[in-house]
Amino acid sequence: MTKSVTLNKDMKEGMMHTFYLKATEAHRLAIQEKIEAFRDEWLDLFFGPYQKTLLSLPEPFRRSVTKVAIPRGYVPPKAPKKRTKGKIEPTDRTTYSLNAMCEHIRLFPEHWRPALQVRRELDYLSVPEDIEIYGPTWEDWTYHTWDRFSVAAVKDKVVTKAALNKFCKDRFVPLCQEIDGIIDEVEEAVQGVGVILKAARTTKSLRDQWPEVDNYVELPVESKGSIARLVDIHHVNEVLAKTWPAEETA
């Protein structure tokens, strides 16, 4: 019978880290591919029609786009209400934000940040170095701030408000919904595993609470005591022998 091992915080963090990377790898890759496809269309909406013109200008009048803002908390414009006598249909005011799945999560809170935060909200997208796309250098253009970017784009007639809203409705909102659906599939399970790991004190109690744990989480195995697994005691002795002053004897 496998000997039970006492679990400390570092062990639990390591187990959760390994589990999370394996459990979410396929989902994170799928989400990343969808975001990259959207990014290319988003860049083309604002800058695509003007690339030839910008490239013909001297460098002081154009600059490489390295970050491009996206809506955060986007609310689709109100559609005309269909009025029925004696009945008022409510307007859908759902807000939409683009989420990605965190590359890493911590089982225990750090720096007052919430633990097990599976999704992270995006407000801009980075443009890879191998994609050359240019925008104007006007002072009003701040590509990584949506409030300024969207206002400047419409004001300077780079894109019409109608075209921008249509793109957000047809492309941005469905993407937000699709990605949220992917994250929802794993978020509850990941947080559930975190709760179980936090509560367990030993590998025995962990298996008692979750008999299938070995199928998903790599548990530590007893080897020369729990301290020896965390610290190379032989190496510590060597360092102490060199650095610790020998006690003077009478």
Q: Exposed, middle or buried by CB within 10 Å (0-12, 13-18, 19+), for 9?
A: exposed
Name the residue type at position 6: T
Q: Residues 121-144: pLDDT tens digits? A: 999 999 999 999 999 887 667 888
| End-to-end Cα distance, the chain | 53
Least confident of 9-13, 92-96, 115-119: 92-96
pLDDT at residue 249, rounded to an integer: 46
The rounded distance, in Å, linking the Cα atoms of 13 and 222 is 17
The rounded distance, in Å, linking the Cα atoms of 37 and 20 is 25
Kindly report the pTM of this predicted structure. 0.80
| The pLDDT of residue 223 is above 60 | no
Q: Give the up-direction half-sphere exposure of residue 247: CA atoms within 13 A in the CB hemisphere.
A: 2
Q: Residues 32-52: pLDDT tens digits? A: 999 999 999 999 999 999 999
Pairing of strands 67-69, 124-126: antiparallel
| The pLDDT of residue 222 is above 70 | no
pLDDT at residue 250, rounded to an integer: 44
Query: Which of 133-170 are b and which e, b meaning 16 or more Cβ less than 10 Å from the residue's Cβ?
Result: bbbbeeeebebbbbeebbebbeeeebbeeeebeebbee
The rounded distance, in Å, linking the Cα atoms of 193 and 25 is 16
pLDDT at residue 125, rounded to an integer: 96
